[in-house]
Amino acid sequence: MLKVLLKKQFAELLAGLLKNRRTGKMRSGGAIAGYMVLFAFAGISLMFSFGALYFMLGTTTLRGGNLFGSIDETASYPGLYFAFTGIVAAIIGLIGGMFSTYSILYCPKDNELLLSMPIKPVMILAARMMSVYILVILYTFIAFLPSLIVYSLLGRFGFLVLIRGLIMYAALTFIILALSCALGWLLAIVAAKVGGKKLVTVISLLVSLGTYYFFYFGRQRIMDLITEDPAKAEHTFKTVLFPFYAYGKGIADSWIYFLIFLGIAAALMAITLFLLSRSFISLVTTKKSRRKKVYVARTVNANSAFGALFRREIRRFLTNPLYLLNNGLGSVIMIVVSVIALVNTGAIRGLLNGIGGTSGSITGTQFSFSQYLAFLPLSIVSGICLILSLTPISSSSVSLEGNRLWILQTIPVGVKTILAAKLAVHMLFAGVPVLVLSVSLSIILKLGFTSILLCLASLGVALLTGTFGLLLEVHNPRLDWTDESIAVKQNLNVLFVMLGGFGAAVLFGLLFIPLCVFFPFLMIPALVIEILVLFGLSMLFFHLSVKLWPRLCES
């Protein structure tokens, strides 16, 4: 029975690679090979990234900062090196393992079906934990292998290090599996009590993004601390992060810490297996809570067709986690940048004057702060094009209708009203933040009358992004999805809008900024031209969207 269940789990793991999720049919051999090459390329790219990070770390911790000379053992900290690489592997494994545990172990769709069969629950648990464990290995191996490769390239390779490293890596994956089961269990409890699958999705995406950015922006600080005083950093690992300290010392040179880490891994796995075997059935059969609705009599006022459609689009955007986080990231960035810019007004002015002094020492022509105002508004517009490319809200609005598009086709509402409601949501969540950003920068730079033109140009960029995405959606929407994530994350219209934002930023930058550097009086005419082009193209794209809507309804 265990063999059959394992075969079933492996088939589910490979389903995304071997089958087309939209049609349910097997992919061709060429398509499967293409996906495998793509995954291999992504894995190798990540390994190179981790390898570059480990190489910088290893230069200090393994060779004492002397890359080409002889190794100074008194200034070498191989245990600290492997402790840091163990943390990196653990973070990568926990992010993937936690949500894999939630979806595979606790909340698959066939739990009740399998439990109704004459199968021992421990067999179901074992098969699913094996499936999660395979994913944990895949996640962590791309961060572990570069640590051994870099260790060897820096002249520290040894056969015992290799053996201990592989054994300690296996123990680390068991610890990650145990922690993933615990965190996945918490997610399952939240989903069971709150009844919100979408809430769990939002939490998972926020935790993943938060962890990624925390590590991305904090890794350099950690590297600096290790580089400045490796001995102090090693002491910190020993007192605060002892399991990882034992992991590093166990691989490098200590059999005692080797055995201690194996003991920690064995104890965690034993506790996890014991608790799961005792609570598995009760957890997977817990009924999801349902909110009880109580009828309350109230007066409902009639609203316009546009208002009803507008509220419908807002509700969809705010209650769809994938739609909100994938297409609304630019809105968050603009608000954050606005706050940071207002708080650091003096620093920004000082930075611009400093750049002017640096450019003057190189080119012989020094720019003052006032001279920057000749082309800064144009540079800001180009930067806003880049940020708004991360907010393609309208580029999924029609695709998300899916097989419910017929509702919009049959209601007695004009095409302009339907499309205007979708565009209005884009302007609310993209246009308002970009307007806040433009006003903030205008206050900091004291642009005066030019601030009005900057705000109009920023709104024009937001409007152009929205109408361009709407035109692409009406022309070729992704309606044949089986999961909303396909309409949001696998929609080429989103990619085209992002590329369009990049292209607009480059085009405006190359056309106007060099010209205004040498002829500052052309800044106002350049802004006016940009505004006319942006609003003119927006009107054209919206008009074409209205014209193409009947063809979409016919097809």
Residue 399: inside a domain = yes
Q: Which region, left, alpha or beta, applies to residue 157 given φ > 0 means left and ψ of -120 to 50 means alpha?
A: beta
Residue 270: inside a domain = yes
Residue 29: inside a domain = no
Residue 93: inside a domain = yes
Contacts of 512 (CB under 8 A, 6+ apart): 375, 378, 522, 526, 529, 530
From 284, 307, 328, the end of a domain falls on 284
Q: What is the C-alpha separation between 77 and 87, in angstroms, rounded? A: 16
CA distances from 526 to 374, 386, 451, 493, 516 (A): 11, 19, 14, 30, 8
Please indicate, yes or no, whether residues 328 and 228 belong to a single structural domain of this protein: no
Q: What is the C-alpha separation between 131 and 9, in angstroms, rounded? A: 6
Residue 504: inside a domain = yes
Residue 100: inside a domain = yes
Please indicate, yes or no, whether residues 392 and 272 belong to a single structural domain of this protein: no
Residue with structure tokens 């004492």? 64
How high is the pLDDT of residue 357? 46
pLDDT along the chain (555 residues), means of 10: 81 71 70 82 85 82 66 70 87 78 72 78 82 87 89 80 90 90 73 58 62 61 71 81 88 88 92 81 60 65 82 84 77 83 74 52 44 67 84 88 82 88 92 89 79 88 92 87 77 86 81 71 81 92 91 77
Q: How many domains does the chain have?
A: 2
How high is the pLDDT of residue 359? 42
Please indicate, yes or no, whether residues 390 and 471 belong to a single structural domain of this protein: yes
Q: Are 467 and 427 in contact (CB under 8 A)?
A: no
Q: Which two tokens stand for residue 227?
A: 């580089």
Q: Which two tokens stand for residue 153?
A: 């390239």
Task: Report CA Rg, the chain.
Answer: 28
Residue with structure tokens 């061709």? 28
Eight-class DSSP state of 27: P
How high is the pLDDT of residue 366? 46
Q: Are 87 and 241 in contact (CB under 8 A)?
A: yes
Q: What is the C-alpha separation between 208 and 197, in angstroms, rounded? A: 17
How high is the pLDDT of residue 261? 92
For residue 195, which phi and psi values (nearest 5 degrees)? 75, 30
| DSSP secondary structure letters along 315-372 | HHHHH-HHHHHHHSHHHHHHHHHHHHHHHTHHHHHHHHHHHHHHHHHHHS-PPPHHHH
Residue 4, Cβ density class (10 Å: 0-12 exposed, 13-18 middle, ≥19 buried): exposed
For residue 458, how many other CB atoms are within 10 A of its CB? Answer: 31
Q: What is the C-alpha separation between 169 and 171, in angstroms, rounded? A: 5
Q: Which region, left, alpha or beta, applies to residue 108 given φ > 0 means left and ψ of -120 to 50 means alpha?
A: beta
Q: What is the C-alpha separation between 183 and 99, in angstroms, rounded? A: 8
Q: What is the C-alpha separation between 121 and 93, in angstroms, rounded? A: 26
How high is the pLDDT of residue 369? 45
Largest CA distance in the chain: 85
Residue 290: inside a domain = no
Q: Which amino acid is at 106?
A: Y
Please indicate, yes or no, whether residues 363 and 434 belong to a single structural domain of this protein: yes
Buried b (16+ CB within 10 A) or exposed e, 262-279: bebbeebbeebbeebeee
Please indicate, yes or no, whether residues 252 and 382 belong to a single structural domain of this protein: no
Q: Are 268 and 274 in contact (CB under 8 A)?
A: no
Q: What is the C-alpha separation between 94 and 201, in angstroms, rounded? A: 16
Q: Where are the alpha helices (DSSP H) in 101-196?
A: 111-115, 121-153, 159-194
Q: Which two tokens stand for residue 275?
A: 């608790």
Q: What is the C-alpha separation between 408 and 71, in angstroms, rounded? A: 72
Contacts of 312 (CB under 8 A, 6+ apart): 421
Please indicate, yes or no, whether residues 120 and 77 belong to a single structural domain of this protein: yes
How high is the pLDDT of residue 259? 93
Q: Which two tokens stand for residue 172?
A: 């680390």
Please indicate, yes or no, whether residues 237 and 121 belong to a single structural domain of this protein: yes
How high is the pLDDT of residue 194? 56
Please indicate, yes or no, whether residues 180 and 329 belong to a single structural domain of this protein: no
Q: Which two tokens stand for residue 42?
A: 């992504």
**Closest among 208, 217, 78 to 148, alpha carbons compared:** 78
CA distances from 397 to 205, 254, 469 (A): 21, 58, 9
How high is the pLDDT of residue 535? 93
Buried b (16+ CB within 10 A) or exposed e, 354-375: eebeeeeeeeeeebeeeebbbb
Please indicate, yes or no, whether residues 195 and 335 belong to a single structural domain of this protein: no
From 263, 284, 305, the end of a domain falls on 284
From 284, 305, 327, the end of a domain falls on 284
Residue 31: inside a domain = no
Please indicate, yes or no, whether residues 214 and 257 belong to a single structural domain of this protein: yes
Please indicate, yes or no, whether residues 55 and 200 belong to a single structural domain of this protein: yes
Q: Counting every residue, how long is the chain?
A: 555
Cross-strand bridge partners of residue 19: 26
How high is the pLDDT of residue 92? 84
Stretch (H or E) spanning 253: none
Parent domain of 336: 315-554
Please indicate, yes or no, whether residues 458 and 337 belong to a single structural domain of this protein: yes
Q: What is the C-alpha separation between 422 and 272, in angstroms, rounded? A: 48
**Closest among 444, 241, 458 to 349, alpha carbons compared:** 444
Helices 523-554 & 492-518 angle (0-180, nearest 10): 160
